Amino acid sequence: MVNFGRVLTAMITPFNSDGSVNYEEAEKLSIWLAEHGTDSLLVCGTTGESPTLTWDEEYQLFQVVQKAVAGKAKVIAGTGSNSTKEAMAATEKAAKLGLDGSLQVVPYYNKPPQSGLYEHFKAIALATPELPIMLYNIPGRTGKNMEPETVAKLAEIPNIVAIKEASGSLDRASQIRHLTSPEFKIYSGDDSLTLPLLAIGGCGVVSVASHLVGEKLQEMVGAFETGKVELATEIHLQLFNLFKALFATTNPIPVKAALNILGWKVGSTRLPLSEAPTEVVEKLKAEMSKLGLL
Residue from 164, 185, 216, 283 carrying the catalytic annotation: 164
For residue 104, the one-letter residue type is Q
CA distance 230 to 228: 6
**Distant-in-sequence, close-in-space partners of 78: CB < 8 Å, separation ≥ 6:** 42, 43, 44, 45, 46, 48, 50, 58, 102, 103, 105
CA distance 273 to 19: 12
Judge whether 112 and 81 are in contact, CB under 8 Å.
no
* 8 A C-beta contact, residue 247 and residue 274: no
3-state helix, strand, coil in the chain (%, to 5): 50, 15, 40
Q: Widest CA span of the chain, in angstroms?
A: 49
Catalytic one of 74, 136, 153, 256: 136
136 is catalytic: yes
- Closest by Cα among 60, 214, 181, 74 to 132: 74
H/E element, 149: helix 148-154
Nearest to 91 by CA among 60, 51, 127: 127
Position 293, amino acid: L
DSSP label at residue 48: T
Rounded to 5°, the CA angle 215-12-135 comes to 85
Taking the alpha carbons at both ends of the chain, their separation in whole angstroms is: 39
**Is 28 part of the annotated catalytic residue set?**
no
CB contact at 8 A, 150 and 111: no
Active site residues: 136, 164
